Amino acid sequence: MVLRVEAHTRVGALDLGVELEVAPGECLALAGPSGAGKTSVLRVAAGLLRPRRGLVEAGLETWLDTERGIDRPPERRRCGYLFQEYALFPHLTAWQNVAYPLREVPRRERRERAVELLGRFGMGELADARPGTLSGGERQRVALARALARRPDVLLLDEPLSALDARTRAVAARELTAVLRDTEVPALLVTHDFAEAAQLGHRVGVIDAGRVVQEGTPSELAAAPRSAFVADFTGAVVLTGTAHAAAAGLTRVDLDGGGSVTSTDRAEGPVAISVYPWEIAIEPAGEARHGSTQNRLAAEVLSVTTVGNRVRLGLAAPQALAAEITLASAEALGLRAGMQVTASWKAAATRLVAR
């Protein structure tokens, strides 16, 4: 089942023009600043916003086709929609919230089914609690269980982590990753945070002022931004690999595709590595190692993009990389596409997040 969404409409002052496609089991993360039209895309998909011109297809079903006059109401589109503030019904308990969509289930079995679903998120014991008494992380789990209860054909997630504090967010991100990995339906996620998009999405679309300005894997976007906006927005470079404990309390990460880096963060198993491009130093290839930087990767310069007084370099290493240096340094090194360089950065600037 593929999800296809096309939406052309005005939302207030915003001119929305988005066309996208999500494969079964894939998560496409739309990332962009607030007011870029991210939530409107989700609302069009769910049928909560009717675009002037648009198309929504889920597999073989057409949910919206303005040209043919098709517009299914939201209740007849099988969407699992996770709302930004979760939108739990305050007068119902956790299990009653989860049971709300279970109308095909006989009344007597609803509680059991709802509690079972809550149990999958470790919330079985809080089945009788009201949303008002739950923490942000607990509310999110109830909302997820409720969104998945009807076995949706499409998952729509609106800023799933933004209502959580920093500590809860790491745990919730891991759980959400697991849900997205296990699901076989297309998932469309929106967030204002590129790092979140990179962590949760298989593919990321950067959206600005109602348009998807660039689409690709997180590292492609960070390494080869097609515009200054994307370069600025993407921020951290994201690499993937497998972490092992190393000597002196450090962690060694074998990068997918070859090479390895060291981090001061502790982790074990599959991880995402994030480094800010401005933490990465560039030197001509073949120079002897000097200084304190632990991580050194040989790379070829792919692109040179000027962003104000800085230069964003797209680098081809085992995985795509991006570095940001001053215009003056770039000119001093005479950097241009095709050059061989060494990219280096400190182990302390290497953040690890479990995948």
Nearer to another protein by Cβ, of 76 and 108: the residue is: 76
Nearer to another protein by Cβ, of 47 and 259: the residue is: 47
- Size of residue set near another protein by CB under 8 A: 29
Per DSSP, the three-state class of 336 is coil
Q: Give whole-number Cα distances, 291 to 174, 252, 294, in Å.
A: 36, 19, 9
What is the nearest approach in angstroms of another protein to the Cβ of residue 63?
Answer: 12
Distance from chain centroid for Cα 266: 23
Check if the beta carbon of residue 236 is closer than 8 Å to that of residue 274: yes
Nearer to another protein by Cβ, of 38 and 146: the residue is: 146
What is the nearest approach in angstroms of another protein to the Cβ of residue 74?
Answer: 4
Q: Counting every residue, how long is the chain?
A: 355
Site for another protein in 122-141 (CB under 8 A): 132-133
Site for another protein in 68-127 (CB under 8 A): 73-81, 83, 85, 87-92, 100-101, 103
Nearer to another protein by Cβ, of 43 and 351: the residue is: 43
Among 110, 139, 141, 146, binds another protein (CB under 8 A): 146
Nearer to another protein by Cβ, of 101 and 225: the residue is: 101
Nearer to another protein by Cβ, of 71 and 215: the residue is: 71
What is the nearest approach in angstroms of another protein to the Cβ of residue 80?
Answer: 8
Per-residue contact flags (x/-) with another protein for residues 150 to 189, judged by CB under 8 A: x-----x---------------------------------
What is the nearest approach in angstroms of another protein to the Cβ of residue 305?
Answer: 39
| Sequential DSSP letters for 153-205 | SEEEEESTTTTS-HHHHHHHHHHHHHHHHH--S-EEEEES-HHHHHHH-SEEE
Element (H, E) at 246: none
What is the nearest approach in angstroms of another protein to the Cβ of residue 125?
Answer: 19
Count CB-CB contacts under 10 A for residue 151. Answer: 10
Q: Taking Cα atoms as reference points, which of 343, 347, 349 lies closest to residue 236?
A: 349
Q: What is the DSSP letter of 296?
A: E
Q: Taking Cα atoms as reference points, which of 28, 24, 31, 14 lies closest to residue 235?
A: 31
236-266 per-residue burial string, b: 16 or more CB within 10 A, e: under 16: bbbbbbbbeeeeeeebbbebeeebebbbbbe
Which residues are at the interface with another protein (CB under 8 A)? Answer: 46-48, 73-81, 83, 85, 87-92, 100-101, 103, 132-133, 146, 149-150, 156
